[in-house]
Structure 1
């Protein structure tokens, strides 16, 4: 029987999988693809990507997981701490702290700093300095949040197939 709880579980799996895939693919295609660009081209590309990603589908998945993961864990709670609930709660924690928290605290401020930077008219030294200030820290935080969302999805997937009474 397909219940409200099952519907939440499926939708939670979907939006979390989409986020894991987005961050994974970014780590293994976009970042390596941008790395060899000259400073000006890299900064222009990142500014363009940062603008493009702010769209309704991204927001539904990004914020949807923030709401759905704890709800999914709550719906898996049976009055005591079970293995299923533990996996679902840990999935929520990894996503909220490791992806959402890092994004808000570190990647978004770096994106905003880059967005405010006027590329046209900047000297080669200014472009180089901005890239150094942005690329290394952004990629480090991105790697951590990518790992966190993948772990979150794995925990969610395992928790979703465990019977309630475990």
Structure 2
């Protein structure tokens, strides 16, 4: 496989994995969390802890880890091929930002909710608004990475 073809395959793979991830964050922002907002505190906490457990699966891991890894591969293949890595590098920076938000904000909130140390109203009160805010940030960052990767494919 030539360097150019390999690069295109890596960018396309990164684009697809990134789109899956952006779609997941978007779905939470526009449907899952607004739907759960309408539930009782205990139902909300039970549903989110169940979602937190269910999302730890190979399909999610494929996009969550695969998108930035494939994007990094696209950056390296562009550099190795003597091309300009600007669009995949921008996408990689955006993925790094989304990963940092996930690790620093969303996961600690998930862990606190999963610990079940508080009554449902207290747990929900400390979780819902900040989690939604940081999820929206992740959605924007990963969506922007999709735009970068798409632009990279379009311009060659």
Shift of 1:25: 1.3
- How do 1:123-134 and structure 2 match up within 5 A? 126-134=119-127
In the other structure, the counterpart of 1:101 is: 100
Secondary structure of 2:65's aligned partner: helix
TM-score w.r.t. length of structure 1: 0.85
Please give the alpha-carbon distance, in whole angstroms, between the structure 2 residues aligned to 1:87 and 1:112: 34
| Post-superposition CA distance 1:10-31 (Å, at most 9, x none) | 2111111111111111111101
In the other structure, the counterpart of 1:89 is: 89
Q: Any conservation in 2 of the 1:47–1:115 contact (CA below 8 Å)?
A: yes
| Post-superposition CA distance 1:130-161 (Å, at most 9, x none) | 11111111111111111111111111111122
1:157 aligns with 2:145: no
Please give the alpha-carbon distance, in whole angstroms, between the structure 2 residues aligned to 1:25 and 1:10: 22
Q: Which has the higher helix share?
A: 2
Q: Any conservation in 2 of the 1:12–1:68 contact (CA below 8 Å)?
A: yes
Q: Any conservation in 2 of the 1:88–1:160 contact (CA below 8 Å)?
A: no
Give the superposed CA RMSD: 1.8
**Correspondent of 1:29 among 26, 31, 40:** 31
**Number of equivalenced pairs:** 153
Shift of 1:76: 2.2
Higher alpha-carbon Rg: 1
Please give the alpha-carbon distance, in whole angstroms, between the structure 2 residues aligned to 1:76 and 1:16: 18
1:52 aligns with 2:54: yes
Please give the alpha-carbon distance, in whole angstroms, between the structure 2 residues aligned to 1:88 and 1:140: 26
TM-score w.r.t. length of structure 2: 0.90
- How do 1:7-26 and structure 2 match up within 5 A? 7-26=9-28
Please give the alpha-carbon distance, in whole angstroms, between the structure 2 residues aligned to 1:35 and 1:57: 26
Please give the alpha-carbon distance, in whole angstroms, between the structure 1 residues aligned to 2:108 and 2:37: 21
